[in-house]
Amino acid sequence: RGGVLPGSPPDPWGPPDYLAGVAAGASLAAGAGAWTAFADQAATPTLVGTSLRSELVLPPVNPTMDYCMLATTSFNKALMVCGISAANPTQGGCVTSCGASWNSALREALAIVDQGCLPLENAANEIWGPAASSGISSTAAFTLPEWEQLQAQCLSSPCGEFWCSLSAVGQHSLYPPYEGDEGCPNFMATDGVYTWPFLTWTSVMYYQDNNLGCTGGLSAIADDEFKTWACVHAPQCAAIVSDDLACFKYNEVRGEFAFWGWNARLKVAPALFQLPASFCNDQGVSVLLDARQPVGAGVALAGMSYAFYKYSEGVLRPFRSGTAEELADGGCGSVRLAPDTQFWLEVTPGTEHYPWKGWWSSVNEDIMRGNPQEVALAIYPKIAVPGFFKCDWLGVTLQWCISEPLDLDLFLFVPLEEGGDFALDQPNAVYWATMDPESTAPDLYTGPYEQNGGEANGGATIILERDDIGEPADGGPRTFGPESIIIKGTPMAGRYAVVATIWISDPLSPLVFSGGCATVGLYSGNLQGGQVVQRQVGAKGRNGHWWHVLNIVVSYDGPDDGSSRPARYSYEMVDQIIPGPIVQEDGYFADPQFSGPGAPEPEILLLRREVDAYDRATQENQWLTEQHCRSYAKVGLELFSSVTSLPLVSGTFTADGGSPVSVDSAVLRYQVPEGYSGGYGVLEGQHSWLVQSPGFAPYELNFKVDLGTEHLFYGTYLVPADGQTRVVLRWQDTPSDLDLHVVPVGVRDPADGTEAQWVWQDPFTEEEWLPEVYEGDDAALRPYVWWGVAGQECGCVDHDDDPQTDCRPLCALSATGPDYASRPTLTLDRDDQIHGRVSGTGRVYNAPEVATLKNLWPGTYRVYVSAYQPEGADEGPEFESEVSVDIWLGDGSSVSSIGSVTHRAGRGGKWLYAGYFSVTDDVVHCTNPNQKPQEEGGTCVSWYAARRVVPAPLGNNYHPVRLRMAHALLYRDQLEESGISFHRAQYVIYSGGSCSCVGSVSCSCTGATIMSTGVVGADLPEDDPNYVARVWTGALPLYLTNGQYQIKVGLPGFYDRMATVDVADGAVDVPAVMVPIVAEGELRVVLTWGARPWDMDLWVVRAGVPKPSWLEGVPEQTVFWDAAEVDTVNEDGVNEMAGIALNRDEVNANGPETVTFGAGVPPLRYRVAVNVYADLPTLPDAPTQCVEGEDAGCHFRGGETVQFFTSTGLLTQSTFVPSVGTWWVVGTIEKDIAGGFSFDFEPVVEGERNGAGSVADGSATCLDIYDEC
């Protein structure tokens, strides 16, 4: 990732490694030179007996590279090779490599005379002393006398005159001379990215790969220095002809290419572009001929573009390309091509015709005798808008070239009965001599051949629209087709054979496709590009004169029940030469007749026409607005293991609920350059395939075939059915690299409750280290599994040389423990970095990334996806295509899919929080679809999706947040006997936005981000240090980073509860009081508060009764802790407090205290108040009523809340703000005759009353809970 793996030094006779780390787009200054053919290399190879040394540092390849840098490098090389240094300035001997290095150094130094080059001058003075003794001064300019002093040092060495004289240096020039008839002052070589005024090995390979150069051996003229030559095309050298080559000899000793001469004189390589070719004939008329016009001028060249490719060793390489505007004479100018060469040609003629793609062959220049070869093509006009009017029409074309016989003919053999097969005989043929139905003798083509009343009546009309005899009657230029047949409408069911043959008047002439260039094309009105297939006869054409090209197959979908059925079109490639008769001048077939058709390849579905019978005249407008044809896309399928990436040898798929089909039926073959063949045909639309292979879990492959899609390929990676929990990350072409991360949070060893310690273990030595993490992260605090966890590329290694055991993934994170096999282990089995890359077989595999989670301890395991940012990138990529995170839950023996987390295309982001696995020991309640009890370990693994984009999460510190749940009516010890459990309570954690529960049984949030969801889980066991006897505590904490959150808790039969929590570098407890939903007509009042004071009480009194005397006791019309219900009546015999009951009195902080108003409560006014009773633990000792001012904690803390619930939800609530006082008069409740409740809350004030403590009430005049205020 972000680097290059080290390799062996490059082979001087093969392509060297490309230079790594150079910014794209840089080019060298035009005046630069170089002393080595490895100037564009990361390192120079060491070659014994030469001047090449790997320790020599080459100048950096960038625009600042100049002659001074090259001369200094050359001089340093000479010192190194000759063993000269400041400590040993006298040269001991002169081998060839030393002399050659001296010669190169002098040559480079001569090039900088009168230029500044302090580095060279300083390097010389370090060896031979200051200027006074060396004669080389460190001045601004390197002068000719100084160069002569440098030469004198060489002449005085053992190398002497032979190496130190530059009289013969011309033979070692790095580039063509600047003057004379061979001058080329602007010679530049390229490797496709950079340019140099000298040749390098990388640029030689570039020219070879692009058919612009070649190499060879010097054979008899080789010597000790030169054994190899290379010639490259130099179009910028105006002094030479346009197809000449600049030739160089490779100097093995110096490691550089020296200019040798021009190929026009040396003749060591064949000229590249001897043959001119043109898109016009010799009269300047376009030979791109409209295939549907019987005669006439060619297709206009304006707007035409072309590209010639040359196929070599499985690779299609660009050879020539351009536009008509770039050619001379309005597009009729010549394109220079290599002769006797088969090109893949792509021509886009303009907006009114389909592109032409296929093989095209150039001929020998001797055939053309200096004249341009015509690039004559059958250009098919567009038939229809795919899916609409005329979408069911098919066209067939035939064309040929100058090396074929004069006249070729196109035949379509048809069936004579519905559902029948074609017969290779004259009555069944549509061709130039189609029989006139009213005549007994053949005649020239008489017009359309109609089936079932013709196309206008719901049948088909078949027409030979163009017949070409190769030579116009008026004596004009020779033509090479096209011939064309069109099939309009719906042919009757059956098979139709497309065949080409040779017509010749002299039966003694050889009847063979002598040129091999005859080409047949099939076109469909339902394809955007029109062309279905193009096939050239090739060399086999020399074996006969009947070429069975393909079959067209028409059938019906569905049973024949008398109603209209969709018509299905397909074709079968045959591409075989078959024996057959000679077609005579009168059109008759002479004996012997056909021996039989060619054997077809498997059928390839093309399109389906949804309307079977119609009136073309009346339904044309309908056809323009409704889709009537759907194309078949060819789908290829290959199966692999998602863990090992190995191909699976067997498998099936069930397409859209059908019967299982072998994957062999979905083999999509790819051949350069024709493209794809084979595959399983499916129509446009949405599809679902169930893919299966023995030993692997079934996988549902969902995909859509869009209008115009011709081929789809799916490399499908299946999850082993080995009982392991896995995460599978899938995405499409972009970006090329996404990364999967699994982050363990709050994981503890179930044996002793200690936090897990995560390490990376060497699979061979079993040594353990802290795992690798991103820069800035602390592996001890924030471990996670990712592609760099091992400090090396991910993979699976054989760690024990035992073929019976599984390999060990390198990218693995495990918790410390004695036995590796039983440890909690997180592994990244596959890391993929090449999405969107086309393989050599034309496929894009888009393999997934896969993580496996084994032997999990209780805790959470968060799953993140990141868009990989290469080192040095600015912002790097974001999520571009759709991202899918598939979750597979295992129990040790089986696996099941629980769905995917999908991030839709175009939503962007750098990090996706997919969700998390929660592991608890609550196996009893492990029954939800998103849960799986483990067969060993006594744990339950649950998955909860998050589906949100987050900032970079790996450096976060997580803090435990525990939900403390209480029942509003029942105490903790009453829950079990009442059959109530909170383990299935669902929670949702929000960040930001605003949340409200008022007016509904459910709470909702707007503008908030969902952080995570899940279930509370089992209650903590009593021996857990966090266990609290009076509340239900979720066994698994919710781990959150610092910040404020809203946590919603829901359970069927209860109102949703919303709690605000602030996380700040520590554990947090979040109380959640679950309030059962009341029946219609009832009201529930619930008091909750914080951790202090310890004991608060909820009071409800009949408003307007006489004031009580605290010394005499509480009036009877009061419901509070000492009177849960009132059963007394007034003087009228009415119990004014009937139906009001205190359900729960909490004496140890947080609440709840709950009072329920039944449906039978009298329609009167009631006052609700809250009293601070004590700030001491009530249990085990019961303190007395505290006194404000005397007991330090005897006052409100602020934040105390009273909520009022009806059957429709939370009706209203009031919160106490100041942290003073011991009495809070919340307000009044009034029940009307209709049974509704109304509330009166006013601003809070404070006052004193009879030593009973201060009172906060709704108005300044109402200072007692019993006042009629």
Helix (H, G, I), strand (E, B) or coil at 221: helix
Residue 427 DSSP label: G
Quote the tokens at residue 1217. 């703000």
Q: What is the dihedral of CA 541, 542, 546, 552, to 10 degrees?
A: -10
pLDDT of residue 24: 24
pLDDT of residue 864: 95
How far is CA 3 from its chain centroid? 21
> What is the distance between the alpha carbons of residues 318 and 197, in angstroms, rounded to a whole number?
24
Residue 962 · residue 1070 · CB < 8 Å: yes
Tell me the backbone φ, ψ of residue 1003, rounded to 5 degrees. -100, 150
How far is CA 965 from its chain centroid? 44
874 exposure class (CB count in 10 Å sphere: 0-12, 13-18, 19+): exposed
pLDDT of residue 1269: 42
Query: Looking at the DSSP assignment, which residues form a beta bridge with residue 420?
Result: 494
Query: Looking at the DSSP assignment, which residues form a beta bridge with residue 573?
Result: 550
- From residue 298, give the alpha-carbon distance in Å to each of 355, 371, 383, 467, 967: 15, 20, 18, 15, 88
Helix axes 118-128, 144-155, angle to 10 degrees: 40
Q: How would you list the strands of the sheet with 356-361, edge to edge?
A: 315-323, 305-312, 342-348, 356-361
How far is CA 343 from its chain centroid? 33
> What is the distance between the alpha carbons of residues 872 and 858, in angstroms, rounded to a whole number?
39
Residue 518 · residue 399 · CB < 8 Å: yes
pLDDT of residue 861: 95
> What is the distance between the alpha carbons of residues 807 and 824, in angstroms, rounded to a whole number?
17
pLDDT of residue 727: 97
CB under 8 Å, gap of 24 or more: what pairs does 621-629 form? 623/388, 623/389, 623/390, 624/388, 624/389, 625/388, 626/388, 627/387, 627/388, 628/387, 628/388, 628/391, 628/392, 629/386, 629/387, 629/388, 629/391, 629/392, 629/525, 629/526
The DSSP element (H or E) to which 126 belongs, if any, is: helix 118-128
Residue 583 · residue 602 · CB < 8 Å: no
> What is the distance between the alpha carbons of residues 11 and 403, in angstroms, rounded to a whole number?
43
Quote the tokens at residue 66. 């100049």
Helix (H, G, I), strand (E, B) or coil at 1054: strand
Q: Which residue has the tokens 């959640």?
A: 1072
Quote the tokens at residue 83. 């063993």
Residue 830 · residue 850 · CB < 8 Å: yes
pLDDT of residue 286: 93
pLDDT of residue 1063: 93
Residues of the chain with pLDDT under 70: 1-43, 57-66, 131-134, 167-183, 185, 238-243, 273-274, 313, 365-366, 434-447, 473-475, 505-509, 611-627, 870-876, 1035, 1104-1113, 1179-1180, 1242-1269
Residues with Cβ within 8 Å of residue 773, at least 6 apart in sequence: 779, 782, 783, 784, 789, 954
How far is CA 28 from its chain centroid? 36
Quote the tokens at residue 1207. 């059957």
Tell me the backbone φ, ψ of residue 617, rounded to 5 degrees. -65, -40
> What is the distance between the alpha carbons of residues 888 and 727, in angstroms, rounded to a whole number?
6
Query: Looking at the DSSP assignment, which residues form a beta bridge with residue 1043?
Result: 1063
Quote the tokens at residue 871. 């080192």
Determine the residue type at 56.
L
Quote the tokens at residue 110. 């001569």
Residues with Cβ within 8 Å of residue 1123, at least 6 apart in sequence: 1114, 1116, 1142
What DSSP assignment string belongs to 599-660? PPPPPEEEEEES--S--HHHHHHHHHHS--EEEEEEEEEEEEETTT-PBPS--EEEETT--E
